[in-house]
Structure 1
């Protein structure tokens, strides 16, 4: 069992914020997803939006675990929800890698036409209003935004 620390929730009128630290292990992603779903549900975020964010973050966290070069330490997430949007910021230490620069892949139109792998970033783009990247002080910073 992993110790997933959800830090104190900050309520600022209609804005809610959470911070999470996720160990760099595949099994920790499920624990994080459960905590996130609970927090967002209690904040009144629609189930479809919660599921979209969970899918996007699962893809991004799994990519860090499986592909990040010279990675170290836990992955850090900040999630903010307002009346208009849901924003998640992912920060992790590793060599610079900008997934927003990956050429757009075409999403399959059916299960039969789908190939294994290669569409995760396209899916992230399709499910978010914003998908941005910065590299600062040895850390990768990803930001995704979903409209409510």
Structure 2
């Protein structure tokens, strides 16, 4: 699905983003489980961009989806300050939940739901690629 969609960096844009991703991944033949996992990963990634990347300022998020081998890749682009989620440390998962530091689970969650996560900062744009097999 070349072209993709561009939305305002607002949480109210999420339903449209997720509808686009669901339709695109189904059209590419991904299994229902793979589609659901990618929906969750994209939801988390876009939420992080809106809440932490733009931090309440105006902005945009562009998404596209295309075939990648036997699976698909979702490309998420934004113009928020650079942030490389692939370099984020893995969270401390040992011990009681109330003793662990708050935050840090979103990137871990995205890693868990996808097969590969690739990041680059190109010409002032964050480019995050989430890959998923069939």
Aligned-CA RMSD value:
2.5
Find out whether 1:44 has 2:29 as its counterpart. yes
Residue ranges of structure 1 left out of the alignment (5+ in a row)? 1-8, 10-16
- How far is 1:108 from its partner? 7.4
Q: Greater RCO between the two (CA within 8 Å, min separation 6)?
A: 2
What TM-score does the superposition give when structure 2 sets the normalisation length? 0.82
Unpaired runs of at least 5, structure 2: none
Q: Give 1 or 2: higher strand fraction.
A: 1
TM-score by length of 1: 0.75
The CA distance in 2 between the partners of 1:27 and 1:72, in whole Å, is: 13
Q: Relative to total residues, which structure has the larger helix share, 1 or 2?
A: 2
Deviation of 1:22 (Å): 2.0
- SS state at 2:20 partner: helix
Aligned residue in 2 for 1:119: 105
SS at match of 1:132: strand
Q: For 1:12-41, what per-residue CA distance to the aligned partner results, in whole angstroms no more than 9, with x for missing partners?
A: xxxxx4511122110111122123223333
Residue deviations 1:45-81, cap 9 Å, x none? 2110110110000000000000015865310111012
1:115-148 superposed Cα distances (whole Å, 9 cap, x missing partner): 6642110111122221111111111111111111
- The within-5 A match list for 1:1-148 is 9=1, 17=2, 19-69=4-54, 72-82=58-68, 84-106=70-92, 113=97, 117-148=103-134
Deviation at 1:43, TM superposition (A): 4.0
